[in-house]
């Protein structure tokens, strides 16, 4: 199975991680690792780093859906073997 490294830049709001994991659950995508860290001194924004295992056919669809979530500012991903 192919893994993908995903970095999401998000606004720090209550429920952000829940929205992201709910979307991944909908597509039955397993999160292998997860790290969240603030990127500014005021902690208004954070980067969420994930290693996920989506079916190859769903990668583009899931990334587009993540980008549409309100607190998500940007989505970067690449294949990781």
Burial of 17 (0-12, 13-18, 19+ CB in 10 A): middle
How high is the pLDDT of residue 16?
95
How high is the pLDDT of residue 7?
98
Task: Indicate which CATH number applies to the domain containing 44.
Answer: 3.30.70.260
Read off the pLDDT of each residue in 36-55 and give the average, rounded to a whole number. 94
Q: Which domain holds residue 40?
A: 3-80
**Can you tell me the distance from the alpha carbon of 2 to that of 6, in angstroms, rounded to the nearest whole number?**
13
Residue whose C-alpha is closest to residue 7's, from 42, 44, 37: 37
- With beta carbons less than 8 A apart as the criterion, state whether 51 and 21 touch: no
Read off the pLDDT of each residue in 58-65 and give the average, rounded to a whole number. 95
Give the number of domains in the chain: 1
How high is the pLDDT of residue 79?
94
- pTM, full prediction: 0.91
Q: Per-residue pLDDT for 37 more than 90? A: yes
């Amino acid at each position: 199975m192919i893994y993908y490294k995903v970095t999401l830049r998000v606004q720090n709001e209550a429920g952000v991680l829940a929205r992201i994991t709910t979307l991944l659950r909908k597509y039955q995508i397993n999160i292998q690792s997860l790290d969240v860290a603030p990127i500014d001194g005021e902690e208004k924004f954070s980067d969420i780093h994930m290693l996920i295992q989506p079916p190859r056919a769903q990668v583009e669809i899931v990334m587009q859906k993540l980008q549409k979530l309100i607190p998500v500012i940007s989505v970067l991903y690449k294949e990781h073997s």
